[in-house]
Structure 1
Amino acid sequence: MTVLTGSAITTPDPRLLLRQVAKTYDGLDVLRGLDLTVAPGEFAAVIGPSGSGKSTLLNLVSGLDRPTSGEIVVDGEPPRTRSGRVAHMPQKDLLLPWRTVLANTALGLEAQGVRRTEARRRAGALFETFGLDGFQHSYPARLSGGMRQRAALLRTVLLESPLLLLDEPFGALDSLTRTDLQRRLAHMWHTYRWTVVLVTHDIREAVRLADTIHVLSPRPASVTSRIEVPRPARTEGGPRALDIVTAAEVEERVLAALAAPTGTAR
């Protein structure tokens, strides 16, 4: 296990690269000098203090906003909302109450120009995998919080984008539902080999799911530590698991990085 600090970690062909990114809103510095690199197939978690700019970071990567300065590259190109390279799942599920669950999950594909019949066929084929079978023709008001999040995740991954951005998708759920969805996400990531950037405030969630954990400083945020999680190699048998002792050690390192004064993390 290694902790790297300061500058960005480079890979030969990163899926996502942020170099010296800054973002200012109305004179308020939110991000400053932020470096971050994510390799293809990597599951990266971003964790930091409340208000440190985690959601702002995802908005910039998705192309919903632009940095004040610095460089952001997704597969060698600047992010654009209609590029198809990035799928973004925000904190709220944003299901439309007047559309059925099936129609909601197909909405992203329809917005990309896929014919309605084909979009709903693709979505329906994954309802069993996402634990939604039998609710195709129900409306969102009938779903539990966990089922709504599964529907939102299905809508996101149907876009088949190389980079999946998740903004605290399970933060509002109870502990049992959150654990169930974390397992489902880990299994689906293992199956579909996405590149994932997960923003979370939950250290255990980051350790449970991620290959790397990127710790942000308080605002204006930069990455103060990159902590590698020493997981077993991928197998075809399912998601990788850490033993209890190793998980506790990584959690301690993340806590130490969060508690360290800006610029002194190790």
Structure 2
Amino acid sequence: MHIHVVCAKTQQNRGIFVPIGKMIQYKEMRQHPILRSHLPETRWISNARTLRMLDTYRTVFIKPNYGSGGTGIIRAKKLGRKYEVRCGSSRRIVRSHAVRRAVRTYRRPHRRYLVQQGLKLAKYKGSIFDARVYMQKPESEWVISGITGRVAAPRKVVTNYRKGGHAAPLSKVLLRVFKNDRTKMKEILDQVTELSRIIADTIDKNHPVRELGIDLAIEKSGQIWIIEANPHPGHMLFRQLPNHKMIRNILRNKRRIHH
């Protein structure tokens, strides 16, 4: 899965959006000794890199440097001697010499793209999922206003709300994935919390953001990967949760930020 980045609303100039590219964010996080081991390999796209990474990881995601909501994400997968290239519900099966052409079919013109290591994610009720952590900075410190699981729609390769993903309490998701192992659940929740705080502090050093939607992927082994730190996160996902405490926190802190 994947790191996305969109735009940051500056504290000084409310209403003006300053773009933060995926690659610059990846490079900034790579400098942190703890975050480094949680980042999937990410490179500027080239045909040679795409094929090399497909040999190494079997699956890669190809994404625009700027973009959000899972839009424009291409998945390439190695299937023996052939390759599947998929974007949304459209897919092509091609040989190695035609991978570049198939990818170009789905790419938008005049945009820079990245190729990123695909991950072997754990599944919840047959669908991939990730964790969304809603970070806010109403004053001088970052706080976690909400945390939830995001479950992909059936057969979808992205979990985004706009692509049919839905919220599920993260503790409930983790208990099912790890067969009611409460110790494992707590260990992962603690890691998710710690990583989110470090990510927020790292991005905050170079970009005047006060809200971040941090998405973390979890493998069957319990390994956590950083997918995305979105500086203009949507909060509709949190309205789907049965407990409304988190959405109330988010809206209250939004008012404090924009006051």
Do Structure 1 and Structure 2 share a fold, with TM-score over 0.5?
no
| Structure number with higher relative contact order (C-alpha < 8 Å, ≥ 6 residues apart) | 1
**TM-score relative to the length of structure 2:** 0.28
Higher strand share: 2
